[in-house]
């Protein structure tokens, strides 16, 4: 991680630099994906502003805090940085957990399909059936979708459950 310091209308002392490096070192575990941090210190009259420009893979963001003391501004901006990165990491973990739960379970059956290495899913019918029978199978299995071959035709169709609970039909032949 590269750390750059910039001081505007103020002097960058060794105490401030050491304090910033110490705080960043303490947060090293959560800053593992951060590539570069720019610490910008600004002083205007009695206002002391500390800004952090953080660059990491896929996202750049800026944090800023302003108080009457430079160390208080630094404390607040580093606390904000820690909260933001921890929050984003929790979001990513929850997103991965939700994606893992949604993966379908494949249950191969015995027979010619198993010998060919093709799994057979319980939510389709390769035998021609009517639309009404497909709806019954969709409701009985509590599935999201059911693929079936239409009776009296070589075409396929899908009945599916919408998020609001209603039923939809995808029929390419119309």
Residue 91 is assigned to a structural domain of this protein: yes
Q: pLDDT tens digits for 83-95?
A: 998 998 899 888 8
The reported pTM is: 0.57
Res 111: pLDDT: 56
Q: Decide if 53 contacts 38 (C-beta within 8 A).
A: yes
Among residues of the chain, what percentage have pLDDT more than 70?
Answer: 83
Partnered with residue 37 across adjacent β-strands are 3, 54
In a domain, 107, yes or no: no
| 118 and 94 both lie in a single domain | no
Residue 161 lies in a domain: yes
- Domain stops at, among 79, 102, 125: 102
Count how many domains the chain has. 2
CATH code assigned at 139: 3.30.505.50
Does residue 143 sit within a domain?
yes
Are residues 21 and 96 both part of a single domain?
A: yes
The answer to whether residues 9 and 59 belong to one domain is: yes
* Average pLDDT over every residue of 145-166: 83
Domain that holds residue 138: 112-170
CATH label of the domain that carries residue 47 = 3.30.160.100
**Mean of per-residue pLDDT scores for the chain:** 83
**Residue 84 domain-assigned (yes or no):** yes
Q: What single string gives the DSSP state of each residue in the chain?
A: -EEEEEEESS---HHHHHHHHHHHHHTTTTTTTEEEEEEEEEEETTEEEEEEEEEETTEEEEEEEEESSHHHHHHHHHHHHHHHHHHHHHHHHHHHHHHHHHSPPP---SSHHHHTT----TTEEEEEE-HHHHHHHHHHHT-SEEEEEETTSS-EEEEEE-TTS-EEEE-TT-
Last residue of a domain, one of 81, 102, 123: 102
Note the pLDDT tens digit of each residue in 34-91. 889 999 999 999 999 999 999 988 889 999 999 999 999 999 999 999 999 899 889 9
């Amino acid at each position: 991680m590269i750390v750059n310091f910039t001081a505007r209308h103020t002097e960058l002392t060794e105490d401030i630099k050491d304090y910033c490096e110490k705080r960043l070192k303490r947060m090293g575990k959560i800053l593992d994906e951060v590539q570069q941090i720019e610490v910008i210190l600004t002083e205007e009259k009695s206002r002391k502003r500390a800004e952090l420009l953080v660059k990491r893979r896929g996202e750049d963001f800026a944090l800023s805090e302003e108080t009457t003391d430079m160390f208080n501004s630094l404390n607040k901006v580093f606390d904000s940085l820690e909260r933001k990165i921890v929050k984003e990491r929790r979001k990513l973990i929850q997103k991965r957990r939700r994606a893992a739960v949604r993966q379908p379970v494949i249950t191969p059956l015995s027979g010619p399909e198993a010998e060919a290495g093709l799994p057979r899913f319980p939510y389709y019918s390769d035998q021609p059936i009517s639309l009404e029978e497909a709806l019954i199978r969709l409701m009985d299995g509590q599935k999201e979708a059911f693929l079936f071959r239409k009776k009296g035709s070589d075409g396929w169709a899908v009945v599916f459950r919408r998020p609001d609970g209603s039923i939809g039909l995808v029929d390419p032949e119309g």
